[in-house]
Amino acid sequence: METISWQDFEKVELRAGTILEVLDFPEARKPAYKLKVDFGPFGTKWSSAQITKHYTKEELVGRQILGVVNFPEKQIGKFMSQFLVTGLADENGDIVLSAVESPVPNGSKLI
């Protein structure tokens, strides 16, 4: 594992956002959703997430998550991902979302 400096970590804009909308993403190679997330002063952004094993679309709406908002956009098929959804793999390799324990303002930075 490579050691990074505090200045390197500070460059990563890990921000809290609230999921506003969840759509199916049938064109994705692995089962995924399209997520529309409100990051407050950083705007509303879209991303895809391979989280269909642990979450239904209905239970995701209104949930706060953590996302990296300062990566360049990434083309995923015909879809443009505008931020990185963060999560951890469970024992089967399925993604569990990184989440916020108590509500915080959208756009809050992980520190």
- Per residue of the chain (111 residues), give pLDDT as tens: 999 999 999 999 999 999 999 999 999 999 999 999 999 999 999 999 999 999 999 999 999 999 999 999 999 888 999 999 999 999 999 999 998 999 999 999 998
For residue 99, give the nearest of 84, 83, 81, 86 by alpha carbon.
86
In a domain, 38, yes or no: yes
Rounded Cα gap, residues 3 and 11, in angstroms: 15
State which residues form the domain around 90.
8-97
Q: What is the largest CA-CA distance in the chain?
A: 40
Q: Which residue type is seen at 82?
A: Q
In a domain, 17, yes or no: yes
In a domain, 73, yes or no: yes
Number of domains in the chain: 1
In a domain, 105, yes or no: no
In a domain, 56, yes or no: yes
